[in-house]
Chain A
Amino acid sequence: MSSERALPAGLLSALRAALHAGAVIDDRDRLIAYEADALTTSRGLPDAAVFPADRDELIRVLQLLQEAQVPFVPRGAGTGLAGGAVAEGGVLICTARMHRILEVDTEGLTALVEPGVLTDEINAATVEHGLRYLPDPASAAACTIGGNVAMNSGGPHCLKHGVTTDHVVALEVILPDGTPLEVGRGADGGLDLAGMFTGSEGTLGVISRIRVNLAPVATDVRTFLALFDSVADAGLAVGRIFEAGVVPVALELVDRETIAVVESSVFAAGLPLDTEAALVVECEGDPEEAEEDLEEAEKAVLACGAREVRRALDEEERLAIWQARKKAYGALGRLAPDVFVQDAAVPRSTLPDLLPRFAEIAGRHDLRLANFFHAGDGNVHPNLLFDRRDADQVARVQAAGAEIMAICVEVGGTITGEHGVGADKVRHMGLVFGAEELETMRTLRRSTDRAGLANPGKLLPETEPGGTA
């Protein structure tokens, strides 16, 4: 198979000569490891994978690929959930070995890092200075900051503090032709180029250095879990907390199905199995502030019919509450071999109506549904459980997924809140963009990548006669 689309003669040896030893692999046995990212249903095999160690090697790689006109796909840790870091032929550029923290600036409260640094490693390097990097993707222990920037990742604590783009000060990007480019947020009177490169999913270039904002660590964090007999009540409580004038740092929802699976796993947090929905609410600040915010939130959830509020009394209990939320995805593996993760974001007030409709759609297609998501942001993850070896199940999952996405868009929502478009949602881009917007974005993409070498097939639907855009 790969012989049909073999790389141009001499490219592999040129790459090997340009990079440090062992930085190029092209044997199928090893490439298989890069066949998919965390969205296991989207697969593809590159012709080669390269592991540049620094920006100079990265520049050289892009120059060689440009000369040879070979497409490439940038990849961080491969934890993405949209199939964005999968290459069907061409060269996979893995930035994992570019993993130096170049500087922690304790005066200006920023850090300069290479893209392969793990998100949690930034925190590990800054905590001794009383500082932290705020966005916290659920995979922070495994994902890279480069991947976060490419996808503009979110996380449970992005509700108050903002997502990745809100914490990126400046970037260096290597354009598809190998030209390095430093971009900022336009404070100099120019355009907010960093804002556009963030979330561009590797289609405009490869990120080589990132300056992120740091913030003081919170002096106090307080958390409770509220149990509800109805998902709709939990949805209402989300709105009521904001109406009380409180913006928690995190506000998450887990449903009955999720509770059941977590409770039967090693992460059991002692939640009653007859709970229809639970909210995780976290507030932080100085102790006084965290306490009074959390008390207001407690009043709000009780007013919406919460049957019980369980306050974490110490750090151990707090982490146990978060285990129930953060390990839910992994625990789903007990129920089915595959999970179809959705990522729509909707106007928050539509949650009480939408949640029962998700259940209805899943039921109609005879599928199991587990909800655990960022309720405060309206960023839902209705997860459909299935077995990809069963073609009938796959077809039902796709049909149900499309219906769920359509009703989310219908109420004003978007097709992806934090996971990105990747290869997975390209076909849905027409739900949220018209032909004029799609063409404008294609023009923009072509302006730095005439040949279409950068992550082809991702993010934007191609124009084809009678195409699906």
Chain B
Amino acid sequence: MRILRPESEAELVEWIASSADRFRDEGMPIVTGIGVDRPPGGLDTAPRLSVSMSGFSEVIDFRPRDLTITVGAGMRLSTLAEVVAEEGLWLPLAGMPEDRSVGGWVASAPVGEFDESFGPVRRHVLACTLLHWDGRVTRWGRPVMKNVAGYEVTKLVCGSRARLGIVTTVTLRLWPRPRVLRRFALAGEALRETGSAFDGAPRFEALLWRSRVGGGEPVTASVSMAGGPASVSTRAQELERWARDFGIGILENSPESSHPAAGSDERAPRSGSSAAYRITFGRRYLTAGLRDLDRRVAIDEDAWSLEAFPATGVVRLLTQKQKAAGQRQAPAWLTTTVDAVGRAPVSQPSLETPAVRIERGGHAEHEAARRMRSNGSRDIERRWLAAFAGVEVPWQADYL
């Protein structure tokens, strides 16, 4: 595989603009940030071209008093967190792999623990620079907290992988660092009963629920609280009391400790030999869906762990072994669950159905997800992608 490491926007633009034939013959390149110079193995069709954004990792414009920062898309999230912390500022990045690039974070828009309280990736991206696949460069958004001029293209960019083009700079909304930030690790079978709802527990800012890690370990949860000292202290005591009542073990962790994300656990399956399934339930379907998945995961020897972000309705399932090469389908039982939950009776057409999005080693695999979407959505996507990309972009175009 050929890796391109441009040092300047001009170099990158020139290469992209002159590569239309190359893309047609060799396929679209995969875009990588610092730390992930190569796509993980296990892809059925590994790309032959790769563009590394490691040359774009500078702070371009940091305005602490405005709570905004503009950085090169190749910057590591961990570096970004350090830079903003020096000014007492903060981004709710708990649980994100530290070597992930800012561009990859924006382009994949992963679910985060703090999404419900501070907003998902799409709320944090104020502006960006986009290099279209035909070599055009456009800038979207402004470094301000509110902006309704023109179409909200930054929203479209978030989670678009590399299908619109390559994001080269990103302007982010920052937060003052919460005066107190505390994080608790909970463990105990009772969490399976309390499920995702945490009925009766005090309010918290973030919750990650995990079960069946490595097969049969106790259910765990990670709870974060942010705010003023008195309020957090009271709520923390309530949480401890609540946990005791249910026989749930509780420990306080360092607020900065990123709990081991499933993929970074030492014993966890290596990314090349695993698949991650992201199932997005409408929140009302979550309890039923999670209970069903939890039961099925227990008897699937390939399943490694089940994680839920209850506030957003997102569930992540990590499987241990890769299925037979070339097999792109989700486990049959996963589709069964999603279909069953999707048919749950509702009084009105719901505008909100469960969807499965499959990632393999961080690489988006869209086949199953596409089946879940309406023809109409796909048609609009095709038209809008044409408006942006300028060339036909296959679904594999990705940004790690």
Contact = CB atoms under 8 A, between A and B. Distances in A.
Contacts of A448: 380, 383
A240 to B, nearest CB: 10
B314 A209 contact: no
B151 A441 contact: yes
Interface in B266-298: 280, 282-287
B377 A181 contact: yes
Contacts of B137: 436
Given A107-B283, A285-B231, A347-B63, A378 B145 contact: yes
Contact of A245 (B119, B145, B177, B377): B177
Interface string A321-354: 0000000000000000000000001111110000
B378 interface: yes
A283 to B, nearest CB: 10
Contact of B356 (A102, A188, A413): A188
Interface residues of A, number: 94
A187 B377 contact: no
Interface in B327-384: 346-352, 355-358, 364, 366, 369-370, 372-374, 376-378, 380-381, 383-384
B2 interface: no
Interface string B112-152: 00000001001100000000000011111011111111111
A239 B65 contact: yes
Contacts of A443: 387
A436 B136 contact: yes
Contacts of A102: 347-348
A379 B178 CA distance: 24
A13 B160 CA distance: 45
B152 A195 contact: yes
A174 B282 CA distance: 23
Contacts of B155: 165, 192, 195-196, 198
B147 A345 contact: yes
Interface stretch (B8-16, B31-39, B43-51, B222-230): B222-230
B146 A377 contact: yes
Given A188-B280, A245-B179, A289-B227, A103 B348 contact: yes
B143 A412 contact: yes
A292 interface: yes
Interface stretch (A58-66, A108-116, A118-126): A108-116
A419 B144 contact: no
A182 B374 contact: yes
A155 to B, nearest CB: 10
Given A196-B151, A378-B145, A191 B156 contact: yes
B151 A417 contact: no
Nearest to B312: A187
Contact of A195 (B122, B229, B370, B387): B122
Given A108-B284, A417-B147, A348 B153 contact: no
Interface in A288-322: 288-289, 291-293, 296
Given A429-B150, A447-B384, A246 B176 contact: yes
Interface of A: 102-103, 105, 107-110, 112, 151-152, 154, 158-159, 162-163, 165-166, 169-172, 179-193, 195-196, 198-200, 209-211, 239, 242-247, 285-286, 288-289, 291-293, 296, 345-350, 374, 377-379, 412-421, 425, 429, 432-434, 436-437, 440-441, 443-444, 447-448, 459-460
Interface of B: 63, 65-68, 88, 109, 119, 122-123, 136-140, 142-153, 155-156, 158-160, 163, 175-179, 203, 227-231, 234-235, 280, 282-287, 313-314, 346-352, 355-358, 364, 366, 369-370, 372-374, 376-378, 380-381, 383-388
Instruction: List the 6 shortest-distance A-B pairs measured between CB atoms, nearest first.
Output: A195-B155, A108-B284, A189-B369, A188-B355, A289-B231, A187-B280
